[in-house]
Structure 1
Amino acid sequence: MATIYYTGCTLDGFIASPEHSLDWLTSRDIDQDGPMAFTGFEQQLGACVMGANTWQWLLDHDESWGGTPAWVVTHRDFAPVEGPVTFTDASVVDVHAAMTEQAGGKDLWVVGGGGLAGQFHAAGLLDEVWLQYAPVTLGDGHPVLPAHVELELLEVARNRDFMCGRYAVVRPAAP
């Protein structure tokens, strides 16, 4: 089991525009069955977590949530939904423990945003980062990971328009 931050980003390191738009991402060509694509990635998932802005984006775009148990870390009030979605303001340590229990040995997905992924990293809970780089720059927006994170490149692939990278989080050596 690994805790993985899997996301698309621009070449200049943003996951969304300042207005939370993903138009730059959804207009790009990707083979959903190709290398490092979401279809294969989601088969290894047992639970996921996202922030309030990501959940709001799903609501605003009439995207339904599938059957993967999900936690939404938020201080906002959202209407209850059908399905395995838990709204919480608990710490990422507590959320991670609940996700791990629910996942049955499968991987955990940090959906977004970058700040939430940074919290998982700061707590020593982030194992891998998978980035699908789109051939576009925004110049401003919401950063992919607004924290200092050391990474080791594990795998690289091209999936049509996207340059995909899989990285291991490098943990500081114990004193």
Structure 2
Amino acid sequence: MTEYTYYTASTLDGFLADPNDSLDWLLSQPIDEDGPFSIADLMARTGVIVMGATTYEWVVAHTPGEPWPYPDQQTFVFTHRDLKPVHPTISLLAGTPTEHRGRLEAAAGDRGVWVVGGGDLAAQFAAAGMLDEMLVSYAPVALGSGRPLFSEPFDFELIDSARNQAFLIGRYRVVGPRS
């Protein structure tokens, strides 16, 4: 069975990005790339990456002239916008996660799906029963407003935690919608 993981970073007050979609707060924090819950560990078990249009546009805008950072995984961008794929491994999808489940899981093979973001897309995957766990690296920063970590009321169960330099990392099992 394909495992779906929302792996992200958040401010202490629950934002992925500031109101201008800036990640300056994240990029200024020290982290050990080989430390607990590293991106390398995630990528080793990831066959497919999914992201929303805003996340995709941010990655493209902040890596100009550089190769696509995820060339070894198929990337699916959920969008209704007219975007241009910048790498042959990128596909644009319109619709809900449920409508594309078969395609995502076929592309992942025996590996997992990394739900990159944003928080609304992660909540759509969770509502569709297509999110198994959430790993959040909390930075010692508060923004006051911005893009939320998760956009729907859900319950999670903490199953593991660690510290990686400035970050407190929580690994959560998705329990289900709050009633």
2:149 maps to 1:144: yes
Query: Which stretch of structure 1 is more off in the superposition, 33-42 or 135-144?
Result: 33-42
Q: What is the alpha-carbon distance in structure 1 between the residues aligned to residue 7 and residue 58 of structure 2?
A: 17
User: 1:65 matched to which residue of 2?
Assistant: 69
User: 1:4 matched to which residue of 2?
Assistant: 5
User: 1:100 matched to which residue of 2?
Assistant: 105
TM-score (norm 2): 0.92
User: Cα 1:157–1:14, aligned 2, differ >3 Å: closer, same or farther?
Assistant: same
Tell me the number of residue pairs that the alignment of Structure 1 and Structure 2 aligns. Answer: 172
User: 2:30 matched to which residue of 1?
Assistant: 29
Contact 1:72/1:86 (8 A) holds in 2: yes
1:97-151: per-residue Cα shift (whole Å, max 9, x none)? Answer: 2111111121111000000001111111111010000010000000000111111
Q: What is the alpha-carbon distance in structure 1 between the residues aligned to residue 122 and residue 85 of structure 2?
A: 24
% same residue = 44
Contact 2:47/2:111 (8 A) holds in 1: yes
- Which runs of at least 4 in structure 1 moved beyond 6 Å after TM superposition? none
TM-score (norm 1): 0.94
> 101, 126, 137: which one pairs with 1:121?
126
Quote the offset at 1:41 in angstroms.
1.3
> 61, 65, 77: which one pairs with 2:82?
77
Counterpart of 2:106 in structure 1: which amino acid?
A: E
Runs of 5+ unmatched residues, structure 1: none
Quote the offset at 1:38 in angstroms.
1.0
Counterpart of 1:86 in structure 2: which amino acid?
A: S
Counterpart of 2:36 in structure 1: which amino acid?
A: P
Contact 1:51/1:112 (8 A) holds in 2: yes
Contact 1:71/1:95 (8 A) holds in 2: no
Query: Which stretch of structure 1 is more off in the superposition, 157-166 or 117-126?
Result: 117-126
Contact 2:96/2:124 (8 A) holds in 1: no
Quote the offset at 1:162 in angstroms.
0.3
Contact 1:8/1:15 (8 A) holds in 2: yes
User: 1:168 matched to which residue of 2?
Assistant: 173
Quote the offset at 1:83 in angstroms.
2.4
Contact 2:47/2:74 (8 A) holds in 1: yes
